[in-house]
């Protein structure tokens, strides 16, 4: 990509997240970014990345997993129906 730069962010678990910004935006990049591996806040400074904690809920995940969010929106019966429908569709597509 022309006229762009990669910025590296590190979370408290030392995961590396690279984000590509345009050359125009490189002077105004955010100090924190969501880690693409564990979804925790990541910072551009690797030495201080381990100090990032949730102020409201220390040690708590900042985002819900897809499965957790799904389970909160559906009853067990609805979940089983969705799974059965998806499995039926997959099985009908096999040769």
Domain residue spans of the chain: 1-63, 64-95
Give 26-67 pLDDT, tens digit per residue.
778 888 899 999 988 999 887 765 555 544 444 554 556 677
Distance CA 88, CA 86 (A): 5
3-state secondary structure the chain: CCCEEEEEEEECCCCEEEEEEECCCHHHCCCEEECCCCCCEEECCHHHHHHCCCCCCCCCCCCCCHHHHHHHHCCHHHHHHHHHHHHHHHHHHCC
pLDDT band at 10; cut points 50, 70, 90:
very high
> What's the pTM?
0.50
The pLDDT score that the predictor gives to residue 54 is 45
């Amino acid at each position: 990509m022309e006229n762009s730069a990669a910025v590296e962010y590190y979370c408290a678990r030392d995961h590396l997240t690279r984000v590509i910004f345009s050359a125009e935006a490189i002077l105004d990049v955010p100090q924190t970014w969501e880690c693409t591996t564990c979804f925790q806040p990541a910072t551009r400074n690797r030495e201080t990345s381990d100090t990032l904690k949730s102020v409201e809920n220390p040690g708590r995940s900042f985002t819900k997993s897809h499965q957790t969010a799904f389970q909160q929106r559906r009853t067990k019966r609805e979940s089983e129906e969705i799974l059965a429908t998806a499995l039926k569709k997959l099985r009908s597509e096999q040769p």
